[in-house]
Chains A and B, each alone.
Chain A
Amino acid sequence: MDAFLQGFQIVLQPMNIFWVVIGGFLGTIVGMLPGLGPATAVAVLIPITFGMDPTSAIILMAAIYYGAMYGGSRSSILLNTPGDGSAIAATFDGYPMAQKGQAGEAMAISAVASFIGGVLAVFGFIFLAKPLANFALKFGPSEYFLLMLLTLSAIVSLSIGKMVKGFIAMALGLLISTIGIDPQTGVHRFTMDIPHLSEGIEFLIVIIGVYAVGEVFYNFLTIDKVKKEKKKVGRIWFTKEQWKRSKWPILRSAPLGFIVGVLPGAGGSIASMMSYSSEKQLSKKPEEFGEGAVEGLAAPESSNNAASVGAMIPLLTMGIPGSGTTAVMLGALIMLGVRPGPLLFENDPGMVWALINSMFIGNIALVIINILLVGLLVKILDTPAKVLYPLIIMLAFIGTYTLSYSTVDYFLLLLFGVIGLFMKIMDFPIAPLVLAIIVGGDMEQNFRMALTSSNGSLSIFFSSGISITLIVLTVLSLFYPIVINRFKKRSRNGDKEAISA
């Protein structure tokens, strides 16, 4: 308790409040720009943090991290282009909402959802950090494999009506994820003697290519045909009805995202996708998902922000980075002479609690910043295409370059732009492709590691309670939509009350 109060004292120093606000703002901005993610932003800031007090430095870096979770969905909603993997789910309903003229409501609800998710997760952090860190240790290769399998099956099952196309897109993504050096054997796979490919294809390039560049290409095709009627952006605050629909999904998604965030390697992409699919399955109106259902936007937004808080747990309690951004943070902290790990809570409780408490302040600052920005951002929709599209292309190229400072990536970017274009023309769902690339590599490695450690026996996938739970959930996620459809059809003639009960 003393440490908790001491932490608050540290955060409330004007300098630290300043860093929280700056970090949150920067995070929001980089989160919005495709390709520029929190990892890049933190990395670029490392030289600046050299001279800083370590506590201020970690507060600043953390603020950038969860700030980016707020910002990431802005471009998903407005341009159908996620700023990062964890903002993919926000395109599903966020963009349709914007097309219906509800961009303002969408951005406001997502800011509030992020806020609630973040704050609940900070409470989770305070009370559950240690037991959850221990729970995360139980995840071995077989559990990770099954978790990723569940994510993929959930996303494929979302594409109802075009399930086959969903599977094809996913298979393509899995194929792409095998490019690079195979860690288990050191063999180069599909690298075509290009050294740049030996580390595989960065999934952010695929996101920027397929979504941003693909979207621009697609709009070029139709730019002359349809005279887009101006969608008036009516309001910048959500309605009571929208809040009523989102309230429970937001509250349910926060703990889910938080727990997934604690697992090293899982992170915001998986968390937001899982919340989206579970909300869709729990919903009484699943048919509205993908058409602009407000809860379909609010749930993943709450979830990915909670995940970013959860990701701090393995970093601070064990010194293990759970995501790209926390890995960069770990490097920066070591430079400052702070070694996150089991001893940090004992040696430097003031700093840990200052960080935790800064997340309260940061989330409050961010929800205000983001709501204030709504009025400004909706103007993007009024920007004429001849200005907007070149701008997007420019940002896409800049973002791609910052990923690994290589021009090889430009060609990949264009290639994926073209792939994205064809997927749109032929009406393939894009998310399964991207998600398969994000999790594919790890999924394969974990599968093989699991088999190596069991000497080839598949029984390892049924050997723990966690595994079996994950298998059951996977089966449910695949068959639930089918079963529920049958059930609904059958009972359509019968008692309607029974369904809603």
Chain B
Amino acid sequence: MKKIGILLLSVLLLAACSSGKASNSADYPSKNIEIVAPASPGGGWDLTARSVQKILKDNKLVKSNVNVINKPGGGGEVGWNYLHSKDSHNLAVNSSLLLTNNLLGQSKLTHKDFTPLATLATEWQAIAVSVDSPYKSINDLMEQIKKDPKSIKIGVGPGLGNDDHLAFVQVADMKGITPADLNFLVYDGGGGDVVTALMGNHVDVVTTSLSEVKDQHLAGKLRILTVSSDQTLEELEDVPTLQEEGIDMVFPHWRGIMGPPDMTEEEIKYWDEKLTEMVKTDEWKKLLENNDWDDFYQNSEETKAFFDEQEKLYKDLINDSGLVK
């Protein structure tokens, strides 16, 4: 009974606060905020959306209520289509699929159809082999692929055209290997499946996100040859970055958040402020740590420029990979 009383009281107080404030600040947001997770509950996008929701709420950064809605399907396509028709109280989580879906001809929408609000975090890519593999460095491996592309089976998942695939394509490209010759085995179960395949020696090398292989590497069950980050990573001091191996590239696997088209200047500014604050909270930092993500915050302006630059890169990679004819 006591609890209900407290609850009622706080609801009343909240109601009083919000009605009092609404009059003096700009009217945005005037109703509940909805964050679209373009995937089923439990996946990376869902977790990103729910974390943003929780941190915005717990720190009272946003005065209206924040909800998460799941719209899975078509590699984000279904959720983003949904967002496209909504007003500025709806946001959606995104990743490089926003760019690649279009480049691969799987979607008509591009990043230009939305209002980028921020890039939030990034994961890094890793290329790993089994512990008894004869290849001790990424250059050893690439040497062999150059000699006989068919001799190296590369595990990737859950589909071609994603960051796991394209990161490897870029490495091969930079070593002068024709990416279309690469012998990819696609595991549609994704990261976990390719790691199992590597540990069972069903493939020679895997390209996946770092979090899938980090623990196995630390436990000595497989060997990460290289990571795609710009500097050596904590706990993985023994693993060189691609740049340290003389392959001049950095490959982030980023996640961000965006709004529907035609958001106003004020609305964009609102989110720039709120999200800058959000990424500074301890909860956000803890989340990054738990997921092996790195801070990659860029505001709306920077994200826009970043998208243009990324689109160009992906376009080249996809053309080289032979996926689009």
Q: Does B71 lie at the interface of the complex (its beta carbon under 8 Å from any beta carbon of A)?
A: yes
Cross-chain contact B73 with A196 (CB below 8 angstroms): yes
Cα of A94 to Cα of B298 in the assembled complex, Å: 58
Interface residues of A in 41-61 (CB under 8 A from B): 42-44, 46-47, 50
A141 to B46, CA, bound (A): 30
Q: How far is the CA of A404 from the CA of B77 in the complex (A)?
A: 13
* A452 interface residue (CB < 8 Å to B): yes
**Cross-chain contact of B290 among A314, A334, A449 (Cβ < 8 A):** A334
**Chain B residues, CB < 8 A from A328:** 41-42
Cβ-closest chain B residue relative to A441: B188
A332-B42, A342-B219, A441-B188 in contact; A138/B200 too (CB < 8 A)? yes
Interface contact B161-A186, CB-CB below 8 Å:
yes
Q: Indicate which residue in B78, B192, B199, B216 contacts A406 across the interface (CB closer than 8 Å).
A: B78
Find out whether the CB atom of B71 lies under 8 angstroms from the CB atom of A405.
yes
* Contact indicator B42/A183 (Cβ below 8 Å): no
Question: Of the 9-residue stretches A318-326, A348-356, A415-423, A480-488, which lies at the interface with chain B?
Answer: A318-326
Q: Mark B277-320, 1 if CB is under 8 A from A, else 0.
A: 00000000011011100000000000000000000000000000
The chain A residue sitting closest to B81, CB to CB, is A195
Instruction: Give every chain A residue within 8 A of B78 (Cβ-Cβ).
Output: 195-196, 406
Q: How far is the CB of B153 from chain A (nearest CB, A)?
A: 5
A242 contacts B by Cβ under 8 Å: no
B203 at the interface (CB under 8 A from A): yes
Chain A residues in 8 Å Cβ range of B291: 334-335
| Cβ-based interface call for A337 (8 A) | yes
Q: Which of A217-255 contact B (CB under 8 A)?
A: none
* A445 and B73 contact, Cβ closer than 8 Å, known pairs A43-B41, A140-B197, A342-B219: no
A288 within 8 A of B: no
Q: Does A136 contact B (CB under 8 A)?
A: yes
* B32 contacts the other chain (CB 8 A): no
B39 to chain A, nearest CB (A): 10
Contact with A along B17-56 (1 / 0, CB 8 A): 0000000000000000000000011111011001100100
B69 CB within 8 Å of chain A:
yes
- Residues of A near B157 (CB, < 8 A) are 183
Contact between chains at B159 and A320 (CB < 8 Å): no
Q: Is B106's CB within 8 Å of the partner chain A?
A: yes
Residue of B42, B104, B203 touching A327 (CB-CB under 8 A): B42
B246: chain A residues within 8 A (beta carbon): none
B236 at the interface (CB under 8 A from A): no
**Interface residue range, chain B:** 35 or more
Which candidate, B89-97, B131-139, B179-187, B248-256, is the interface stretch facing chain A?
A: B179-187
Q: Report A-chain residues with C-beta under 8 Å of the C-beta of B200.
A: 137-140
Residue on B nearest A322 in the bound complex, by CB: B192
CB < 8 Å: which of B54, B211, B215 contacts A50?
B54
Which residues of chain B come closer than 8 Å to A342, judged between CB atoms? 215-216, 219, 221
With contacts A199-B73, A319-B215, A341-B219 taken as known, whether A185 is within 8 angstroms of B160 at the C-beta atoms is yes
A195 CA to B43 CA, complexed, in Å: 19
Does A442 contact B188, Cβ atoms closer than 8 Å? yes
Closest to A186 in B: B160
Residue in chain B with minimal CB distance to A336: B290
Contacts of B75 in A (CB 8 A): 198-199
Take A46-B42, A406-B78 as given contacts and tell me if A343 and B215 are in contact as well, using a CB distance cutoff of 8 Å. yes
- Interface membership of B158, Cβ < 8 A: yes
Residue on B with the closest CB to A139?
B200
Q: Considering the complex, which residues of chain B in the window 195-245 have a beta carbon less than 8 Å from any beta carbon of chain A?
A: 195-197, 199-200, 202-203, 211-212, 215-216, 218-219, 221
Does any Cβ of A come within 8 Å of B174's Cβ?
Answer: no
**Cross-chain contact B195 with A46 (CB below 8 angstroms):** no
* Complex CA distance for A181 and B202, rounded to whole angstroms: 23
- Contact A453 B323, CB 8 Å, known A42-B42, A140-B197, A328-B42: no
Q: A136-B196, A140-B200, A343-B218 are in contact. Are A453 and B159 (CB under 8 A)?
A: no
Q: How far is the CA of A452 from the CA of B203 in the complex (A)?
A: 11
Which of A50, A139, A331 touches B42 (beta carbons < 8 Å)? A331
Please name all residues of chain B whose beta carbon is closer than 8 Å to the beta carbon of A265 when the two chains form the complex: 189, 193
CB distance from B149 to the nearest CB of A (A): 12
> Which residues of A have CB within 8 Å of B219?
341-343
Is A404 a contact of B40 with CB atoms below 8 Å?
Answer: yes
Shortest distance from the beta carbon of B195 to any chain A beta carbon, whole Å = 6
Residues of A within 8 A of B186 (CB): 183-184, 445, 449
Q: Which of A183, A332, A334, A452 contacts B158 (CB 8 A)?
A: A183
Say yes or no: is A34 at the interface (Cβ < 8 Å to chain B). Answer: no
A198 touches B106 (CB 8 A): yes
A357 and B104 alpha carbons, distance in the complex (Å): 49
Q: Check B41–A44 contact: CB distance below 8 A.
A: yes
Q: Are A195 and B192 in contact (CB under 8 A)?
A: no
Q: Is the CB of A335 within 8 A of B215?
A: no
Contacts of A330 in B (CB 8 A): 192
In the assembly, what is the distance between CA of A331 and CA of B216, in Å? 17
Report Cα–Cα, A47/B35, bound state, in Å. 15
Q: Which residue of A lies closest to B107 (CB)?
A: A195
Residues from chain A with Cβ under 8 Å of B215 in the complex: 319, 339, 341-343
Decide: B42 and A453 in contact? CB cutoff 8 A.
Answer: no
Q: Does B70 contact A (CB under 8 A)?
A: yes
Task: Report the bound CA distance from A141 to B291 in whole Å.
Answer: 29
Is B72 engaged at the interface, CB distance under 8 Å to the other chain?
Answer: yes
Identify which of B43, B157, B219 gathers the most chain A CB atoms within 10 Å of its CB: B219
Query: Counting CB contacts under 8 A, is B150 at the interface?
Result: yes
- Chain A contacts for B43, CB-based, 8 A: 331
A424 within 8 A of B: no
Report which of B42, B69, B195, B202 forms a contact with A141, defined as CB distance below 8 A: B202
Given A264-B189, A332-B42, A442-B188, output 6 extra A-B contacts at Cβ < 8 Å. Answer: A44-B41, A137-B200, A181-B159, A404-B40, A404-B72, A406-B72
14 contacting pairs across A/B (C-beta < 8 A): A138-B200, A141-B185, A183-B160, A186-B161, A195-B107, A196-B74, A198-B106, A264-B189, A265-B189, A314-B196, A334-B291, A335-B51, A405-B69, A453-B153
The 3 A-B residue pairs with the shortest CB-CB distance in the complex, in nearest-first order: A43-B41, A328-B42, A137-B200
